[in-house]
Amino acid sequence: MDLAQLEIICKQLYEATDPAQRLQAEKALIELTESPECLSKCQLLLERGTTSYAQLLAATCLTKLVTRVNPLPLQQRIDVSE
């Protein structure tokens, strides 16, 4: 999933009026949060994202990654905070 696709999905999550479209966006974003690429994709959204929806989602995901029961290794937490 590239940056443009992620931004579209984030927008659909918050703006879609069709419940099926919103559900599809939720599923795609859940898959992202559970993938090993989550950290890098969220950092990309924060650095280059153009929509507030995408940046909000990225910030939320990164916060969860840093504060979860099995937190990120120290170096990755430092990378996130930079």
Query: CA 46 to CA 56: how far, in whole Å?
Result: 8
50 CB-near residues (< 8 Å, 6+ apart): 7
Global confidence as pTM:
0.72
pLDDT tens-place string over residues 17-46: 999 999 999 999 888 888 888 888 988 998
The domains of the chain are located at 3-81
pLDDT beyond 90 at 62: no
pLDDT beyond 70 at 4: yes
HSE, side-chain direction, 13 A CA sphere, residue 25: 21
pLDDT beyond 90 at 75: no
